[in-house]
Amino acid sequence: MNSRSSNLFRFSFAVFDLLCLNMVHFVLMLIMQNVPGSREYILLFLINNAAWILCAYMTALYIGKHHSNDNFFRRSVISFFLFFGVSLLAIFLLNFTYSRLFVILIFIGFGTTILISRTLYVGAAYYLRKQYPLNKKAIIIGYNELGKKLVENISYNRTLTIIGYFDDEETISEVPNLPVLGKIGGSVQYAIDNNISEIYSTVSPERNLHIYELAQLAETNFIRFKFVPDFRMFINRKVHIDFARNIPILSLRTEPLENLDSQIKKRSFDIAFSLIMIFFILSWLVPLIAILIKLDSRGPVFFTQLRSGKNNRSFLCYKFRSLRVNNDANAKQVTRDDDRFTRLGKFLRKTNLDEFPQFINVFRGEMSIVGPRPHMLKHTAEYSQMLNHYMIRHYIKPGVTGWAQINGYRGEIRNKKDLRGRIEYDIWYMENWSMWLDLRIILLTLYKTIKGDEKAF
């Protein structure tokens, strides 16, 4: 977990816990008629807040990185029982006559919120581990001293298994502890065929000019390619440094959403946001728009199309139909003066209302609220040929809105410059993701929708 993500994690849970504690207190004061709003009860309110903060600090509940979700759950339970003891001690020392039922219900209510929130958190983490197994397979390019040392150090990482080496040497004088699987040129194809997640190269591009080509091919096929330098090597681009104990590993980019805690937070937000939109907006908007679409033109209410999702897996994307039924929908992109627009369709697209059914895709887990906009399959095939790094945007889920869109890259792609700008913003978002960035993008999207976007058509 990077420092920004770690800080947000601690801050989010600290705010949530204090909010729950105070909500329990206020609700009880409202519903219990025999509990006055006197200074004794206000003092108890302040004592409980201070006691929880003190106990959370004593157990380091919100401090540092928790190495396991079970550890976080255990610290939460310990914090609660410490809070229980400190609070009761304070009540005893103050010698005020508090309602016993009121005090008991505070502990029960707050304890229940702690138990439910931690159970949901651990359950979500367990589910994501099942969906995205952490035990990954990797191969190493180069059977040399650095490669052997790397295997030795990575052996301490229980989530990564080294399968073998790839090297161009004709003869190897010693028997390696792992097999030499083939020549360097065949490493990526081997990784594709054998479900390898990561490739570590201890051979520098100066010694083998095809290494960069292999790295590009690996990323296009959703295989992480990482350089292991000997510090005499220089890579002329921004890189991210990880460590396998004392061995530095350079990867081509940072990916905050590879972190499990970040995945849990983003998915939890997606579910909550999409449910709110479905129940409070789509529940009445869909019937209304459906009637208007049927009155305006013949054809279905929804337009469904296969789009490219995470890891280039296709999914059925939902939209309100804004064009007349035509045979070019899966091949021809919409242009500003497109003669296929319906009268209502222009309004739907201008106001972004046509995208609202995609909150169903978000709830289903095929999209996120924020991410790169999904393209039709034909365009994915075409654009991947135009730009080598185009497919990198598919490392994460597509979004209803995105960083590229609020920065002016939306609508028709007329040339390579338009495409390159969009992809650069999408990759920047992937490398710099945070919950605060998602909230900022959502607010800017709302602002641009109200203000009007000249590129929306």
pLDDT digits (tens, 9 = 90+) for 364-374: 999 999 999 99
Comparing CA positions, the residue from 233, 262, 227, 201 lying closest to residue 3 is 262
Partners of residue 138 on adjacent β-strands: 162, 198
Q: How many CB atoms lie within 10 A of CB 132?
A: 11
Confidence tier at 352 by pLDDT (50, 70, 90): confident
At residue 133, φ and ψ (nearest 5 deg) are -55, 140
- Residue 90, pLDDT score: 84
Tell me if 344 sits within 8 A of 323, measured CB to CB: no
Please check the confidence at residue 234 and state whether its pLDDT lies above 60.
no
pLDDT at 449: 83
To the nearest whole percent, how much of the chain has pLDDT over 70? 88
Kindly state the helix (H) or strand (E) to which residue 182 belongs, with its residue range. Answer: strand 180-182
Q: What is the three-class DSSP state of 65?
A: coil
CB 270 within 8 A of CB 369: yes
Instruction: Give residue 301's pLDDT.
Output: 92
Q: What is the pLDDT of residue 457?
A: 52
Cβ distance 168 to 202 under 8 Å?
no
Q: Which string of DSSP letters, residue by residue, matches 228-259?
A: ---SS---SS--EEEEETTEEEEESS--GGGS
pLDDT at 1: 47
Most distant pair of Cα atoms in the chain: their distance: 88
State the pLDDT confidence band at 61, using cuts at 50, 70 and 90: confident
- Contact predicate 322/354, CB 8 Å: yes
**What topology is assigned to 136-252 in CATH?**
Rossmann fold (3.40.50)
Structure tokens at 132: 């995205």
Q: Is the pLDDT of residue 383 over 60?
A: yes
- Alpha-carbon distances of 54 from 29, 58, 93, 401, 432, rounded to whole Å: 24, 6, 18, 41, 33
- pLDDT band for position 410 (50/70/90)? confident
Specify the pLDDT at position 2. Answer: 47
CB 255, CB 266: distance < 8 Å: no
User: Taking residues 240-264, what's their average pLDDT?
Assistant: 79
- Domain locations along the chain: 3-131, 136-252, 260-451
Q: What's the rounded Cα separation, in Å, for the pair 205 and 212?
A: 7
- Residue 37: pLDDT band (50, 70, 90) is low
Regarding pTM above 0.75, the answer is no
Could you tell me what percent of the chain has a pLDDT over 90?
A: 33
Average pLDDT over residues 105-119: 90
pLDDT-derived band at 325 (thresholds 50, 70, 90) equals: confident
Confidence tier at 71 by pLDDT (50, 70, 90): confident
d(CA 43, CA 81): 21
Residue whose entry in the numeric block shows the structure tokens 């209302």: 353
Rounded average pLDDT over 128-151: 81
pLDDT at 200: 95
Q: Residue 69 pLDDT more than 70?
A: no
For tokens 């040929």, name the residue. 385
Residue 333 has pLDDT above 80, yes or no: no
Q: What is the mean pLDDT of residues 75-87?
A: 89
H-helix segments, 39-198: 39-58, 69-94, 100-131, 145-154, 187-193
pLDDT of residue 135: 72
Q: Which two tokens stand for residue 240?
A: 């991210």
Query: Which is higher by pLDDT, 442 or 124?
Result: 442
Cα-to-chain-centroid distance, residue 158: 23
Q: Which of 121-130, 284-293, 414-423 has the highest mean pLDDT?
A: 284-293
pLDDT in tens, 259-281: 888 888 899 999 999 999 999 99
Q: What are phi and psi of 302, to 5 degrees?
A: -100, 145
Residues 306/331, Cβ–Cβ less than 8 Å: no
Average pLDDT, stretch 318-346?
A: 80
pLDDT at residue 15, rounded to an integer = 86
- pLDDT of 158 above 70: no
Q: Is the pLDDT reported for residue 132 higher than 70?
A: no
How many Cβ atoms sit within 10 Å of the Cβ of residue 34? 7
13-17, 68-72, 223-227, 401-405: least confident range = 68-72
Q: In the structure, what pLDDT confidence band is assigned to residue 67 with cuts at 50, 70 and 90?
A: very low
Span of 36-45, 49-58, 210-219, 396-405 with lowest mean pLDDT: 36-45
> Tokens 């690996």 label which residue?
218
Q: Which amino acid is at 117?
A: S
Residues 378, 330 contacting (CB under 8 angstroms)? yes
Question: Has residue 456 got a pLDDT over 70?
Answer: no
For 288, residues 6+ apart whose C-beta sits below 8 A from its C-beta are: none
